[in-house]
Amino acid sequence: MTKTLVVGAGGVSHAAVHKMAMNADIFGDITLASRTKAKCDAIAASVKDRVGVDIATAALDAMDVAATVALIKETGADILVNLALPYQDLKLMDACLEAGVHYLDTANYEPEDEAKFEYKWQWAYHDKFKEAGVVAILGSGFDPGVTSVFAKWLKDHRLKTIRQIDVLDANGGSNDQAFATNFNPEINLREVLQDAKHWEQGEWKITPAMSHKVEFDFPGIGPKNMYLMYHEELESLSTHFPEIERARFWMTFGDAYITHAKVLENVGMTRIDPVMHNGVEIIPIQFLKTLLPDPGDLGAQTKGKACIGDIATGEALDGSGEKTYYIYNICDHEECYREVGSQAVSYTTGVPAMIGAAQVLKGNWTEPGVWNMEQLDVEDFMDMLNNHGLPWQVHELDGPVKF
């Protein structure tokens, strides 16, 4: 029987493990591990209550390679699904190499002491995984993840080349919190407050964070302000689809979110370097995380929809000239909560993590090495999106986007 080890017990893990349990024929025996075992136990209890499946739990420090290797061997895991923090990626990849098991994550590596994420550290593992005969799948969330799969599907079915691509992420959900992030507050704020960066004409263009805003009318949501920012799929897409002339990423934020984030940054609460407080060394952003709402706890009060997708322009596959397509998913917060007890942001990352891991376990993604999603065969992945809660649609637009 297949055995699956999931590391991390936040909101994304909650959604992913529930969906894995709903597909026990693929995932077999599931073990959930995290530094705080009580969080794992809470998810396990919810899975038992909602799905009727028992999963095992364990305490694990994901930065301890030896401990992870021991747990892999103890559980007999075939794959390790990393739903922990991005700066734990390399340690977990090391453990998978030593134990000889497959690896999958949802976000690329980011040093703990520097707000800078890029794929070079993980891409450097390609030969090691190839020699070990195991697979590492990078970024199997929604963005990155499904957004890259969407781009590959367009190249397989609509566009011979992609000249420009815009990834658009809108969360139209609301809750009763004065300020709350969509996902892990530490990672969210580190990401949002970085300088914006996009790919254009063979080089990276850098602009100050939150300095470029446009309004867009999102399907299922309506008009929202979205901001240009950097996201890791821009790096992988511009690398693996070298014909891309321009690649940008946009995310929506309300005025209150921008104000809170800027104030917190201005007073030093988003700093990632240690400071002394009453004789104790603390990292301000990690202290701030303890004060902010846990996004995983907001499912019951979050209402509205999320819409994430790609707008891509390029040469049509059928030779009919240049075409522009918008491919996207609309996800309802309340429907997600009814199904698995999660809000849509956790759901839209957790479900693709489940589907990506399923591709490995089903034998669809078996070539040893380190791979981004757009490098793979995405047909079954796209079918599973439709069948497991994230249906997608594609429409031809009148022409390239003007923003």
For the stretch 271-281, pLDDT in tens is 878 888 888 88
Query: Are residues 241 and 159 in contact, defined by beta-carbon separation less than 8 angstroms?
Result: no
Given a contact cutoff of 8 angstroms between Cβ atoms, the answer to whether 138 and 110 are in contact is no
pLDDT at residue 268, as a whole number:
77
- pLDDT score of 57 more than 80: yes
Contact criterion met (CB below 8 Å) for 68 and 58? no
Q: How many domains does the chain have?
A: 2
- pLDDT confidence of 369, banded at 50, 70, 90? very high
Segment among 128-137, 251-260, 316-325 with least mean pLDDT: 251-260
Which among 138, 161, 179 is the end of a domain? 138
In a domain, 354, yes or no: no
Is pLDDT of 2 > 80?
Answer: yes
pLDDT at residue number 115: 63
* 380 is a domain residue: no
Average pLDDT over residues 293-302: 67
Q: Which residue has the tokens 């649609």?
A: 393
SS (H, E, C) 16-52: HHHHHHCCHHHHCEEEEEECCHHHHHHHHHHHHHHHC
In this structure, what CATH number is given to the domain that contains residue 109? 3.40.50.720
Mean pLDDT score across all residues of the chain: 92
Q: What is the mean pLDDT of residues 332-357?
A: 96
Task: Indicate if 308 and 172 belong to the same structural domain.
Answer: yes
User: Once rounded to an integer, what is the mean pLDDT over residues 32-55?
Assistant: 97
Q: Does residue 215 sit within a domain?
A: yes
pLDDT tier at 289, thresholds 50, 70, 90: confident
- The full DSSP string for 49-106 is HHH----EEEE--TT-HHHHHHHHHHHT-SEEEE-S-GGGHHHHHHHHHHHT-EEEES
Based on the domain organization, do 166 and 130 belong to the same domain?
Answer: no
**Both 214 and 249 in a single domain?**
yes
Instruction: Please state, in angstroms and rounded to a whole number, the distance separating the CA atoms of residues 85 and 190.
Output: 12
For residue 188, the enclosing domain spans 146-342+387-397
- Reported as half-sphere exposure (CB side, CA atoms, 13 A), residue 324 has a value of 10
My answer on whether 172 and 74 are in the same domain is no
Q: Are residues 270 and 292 in the same domain?
A: yes
Looking at 27-31, 51-55, 83-87, 183-187, which range is the least confident one?
183-187
Question: Reduced to 3 states, what is the DSSP secondary structure of residue 208?
Answer: coil
Sign of the C-alpha dihedral, residues 276, 280, 284, 288? negative
Q: What is the pLDDT of residues 311-323, one digit of tens each?
A: 999 999 999 999 9
Supply the CATH number for residue 174's domain. 3.30.360.10
Say whether pLDDT at 167 is over 90: yes
Domain boundary residue, one of 113, 138, 163: 138
- Stretch 165-173: mean pLDDT, rounded? 90
Asked if residue 331 has pLDDT above 90, the reply is yes
* 106-115, 170-179, 184-193, 347-356: range with highest mean pLDDT: 347-356
Quick one: 189 and 83 in the same domain? no
Measure Cα distances from 9 to 24, 144, 225 in Å: 19, 20, 32
Q: Are 271 and 192 part of one and the same domain?
A: yes
* Residues 120 and 151 grouped into a single domain: no
Same domain, 215 and 171: yes
Which of the listed residues 109, 138, 167 is the one where a domain comes to its end? 138
With tokens 């897409």, the residue in question is: 237
The whole-number pLDDT of residue 296 equals: 64
Q: Tell me: do 156 and 25 sit in the same domain.
A: no
Q: How high is the pLDDT of residue 248?
A: 98
Q: Are residues 199 and 336 in the same domain?
A: yes
Alpha helices in 330-389 (DSSP H): 333-340, 344-361, 379-387
Same structural domain for residues 130 and 96? yes
